[in-house]
Amino acid sequence: MTEESLKPYVIGLDLGGTNSVFGIVDSRGDIKATTAIKTQGYGNNVQAYVDAAVEALKIIIDQVGGIDKIKAMGIGAPNGNYYTGTIEFAPNLEWGRDGVVPLAKLFSDKLGIPVALTNDANAAAIGEMAYGVARGMKNFIVITLGTGVGSGIVVNGQLVYGCDGFAGELGHAIVKENGRPCGCGRKGCLETYCSATGVARTAREVLETSDAPSLLRELDPEKITSYDVSVAALKGDKVALDIYEFTGRILGEACANFATFSSPEAFIFFGGLTKAGDLIMNPIKKAYEENILNIYKGKAKFLVSSLEGSSAAVLGASAVGWDINK
């Protein structure tokens, strides 16, 4: 019997800034069981996070026949280093922002199985390439729009990791000189404008600096989310529509810059902000076309992930698990 028949499953973890979603996945990419926990709420105690994750995992591991059925675990995480299995100075993780966290080892020690880790957006790119809209593509960029902005870059069918495992942190490309402070310690990073939190930040700034009427004025400014902005925009609220126009323009201009180094056949957008649909996608495409170098005009597609919820990242993370010891 092969190891695959003896141990037919891997665990995939999509570790986001807000939620951590776990899936048990078979070799065909079918997710057999899922669970989730909140990523934050443990202070700087990463062991408490791992303990809570393993407690949640035990239930779904039992559903598929126990830990003896699990070959390995793959993790997609912000600032994840594929080479070392660590999360390093992740600004959006309270237990990961101040140093190097050996997360793969912590999970491996607790579960007793091999664990591999990669950047969360890289995991999403692997998932799209294997199971989603990037099937058959060799050159594309996945951009994740969640708590932060991540990216997974595929060139000639291979993920780009760079010399140290950290290539492709496009969310930290500076798009505004002396712009908004970022959790990374710099100013003007793309994710301070084009993440879900960036959209909420724009909404607060607009409400503070203008007296334009808006449905958003009925809400507590400190509690406004990107979802609130999309609801208002869908009702025709001009302030909310302008916020998406502003956000999409910055992201489209950034994509025009990104195209110059890898000439992708597609940009694939993934994450909560994509639920705004054309509200965000149309300004992105318009700004891209206005700013792209002539030799790249009309070549790149702009696609939204076809995989449900966090499936792309869970499947991508699981693919990293399948690759262990191949």
Give per-residue pLDDT as tens, 198-253.
999 999 999 999 999 999 999 999 999 999 999 999 999 999 999 999 999 999 99
What percentage of the chain has pLDDT greater than the value 90? 81
Whether residue 18 has pLDDT greater than 80: yes
Q: Which CATH architecture has domain 3-125+310-322?
A: 2-Layer Sandwich (3.30)
Fold match between domain 3-125+310-322 and domain 136-304: yes
Give the per-residue pLDDT at 109.
97
H-run or E-run covering 116: strand 115-119
Average pLDDT over residues 283-308: 94
Give the per-residue pLDDT at 3.
57
Structure tokens at 235: 């009702």
Cβ-contact 12, 322 below 8 angstroms: no
The whole-angstrom separation of Cα 150 and Cα 142 is 8
Cβ-contact 300, 269 below 8 angstroms: no
Q: State the pTM of this model.
A: 0.84
Average pLDDT over residues 167-171: 93
Give the per-residue pLDDT at 311.
78
Higher pLDDT, 69 or 78: 69
Cβ-contact 159, 137 below 8 angstroms: no
Q: What confidence category does residue 2 fall into, taking pLDDT thresholds of 50, 70 and 90?
A: low
Residues 247-274 pLDDT 10s: 999 999 999 999 999 999 999 998 889 9
Give the per-residue pLDDT at 186.
96
Picking from 169, 157, 150, the residue whose alpha carbon sits closest to that of residue 269 is: 150
Residues 106-134 pLDDT 10s: 999 999 999 999 988 898 898 888 888 99
| Cα-based distances in Å from 274 to 132, 145, 324 | 16, 7, 32
Q: Which CATH architecture has domain 136-304?
A: 2-Layer Sandwich (3.30)
Q: What confidence category does residue 5 fall into, taking pLDDT thresholds of 50, 70 and 90?
A: low
Give the per-residue pLDDT at 147.
85
Give the per-residue pLDDT at 130.
81
Instruction: Render 142-201 in DSSP notation, one character per residue.
Output: EEEESSSEEEEEEETTEE--TTTS----GGGSB-STT-SB-TTS-BSBTHHHHSHHHHHH
For residue 181, list its beta bridge partners: 187
Q: Where is average pLDDT lowest: 64-73, 235-244, 289-298, 305-314? A: 305-314
The whole-angstrom separation of Cα 135 and Cα 140 is 11
Higher pLDDT, 21 or 308: 21
What are the boundaries of each domain within the chain? 3-125+310-322, 136-304
Give the per-residue pLDDT at 310.
59
The sheet with strand 86-88 has its strands ordered as 80-81, 86-88, 100-101
Whether residue 155 has pLDDT greater than 80: yes
